[in-house]
Amino acid sequence: MMKQKIFDQLTPIFQEVLDEPSLVLTETLSAAAVDGWDSLKHITLIVEIEALTGLVLSADELINIQNVGDFVNLLYNRGYRG
């Protein structure tokens, strides 16, 4: 349930940044599956996620992010509960 809350909070960020108003976030959703999720948009996503959570993420943490589920797990493991 805690992770679902994080999904719910990330959804409008991904929809806005990727300009996909109907985008549904799933654990396995990755950049390859979304037109426009390029490296520049990825930077914007990180900036917005830090603004949302108040966390300061590191490059080492982000290097292994493969999909939305990895994002959520990272935030959860850093103590963010939404």
Partner 1 sequence: MGNYSFHDLAVGMISRKGYQFTAKRINAFSELVDDAAPVHTNPEFAKQLGFDNTIAHGLFVQSVISGMLGTDIPGPQSVINSLTMNMHLPVLAGQQVDYHIEITSLTAAVSAVSLKYSGTANGKLVISGKALCSFPKHISD
Which stretches of the chain bind partner 1, using CB under 8 A? 38-40, 42-44, 46-47, 50-51, 56-59, 61-62
Exposed, middle or buried, 58 (CB in 10 Å: 0-12/13-18/19+)? exposed
Distance of closest approach, residue 61 Cβ to partner 1, in angstroms: 7
Distance of closest approach, residue 62 Cβ to partner 1, in angstroms: 5
Q: Kindly report the length of the chain.
A: 82
- How far does the chain reach from its first CA to its final CA, in angstroms? 10
Distance of closest approach, residue 73 Cβ to partner 1, in angstroms: 16
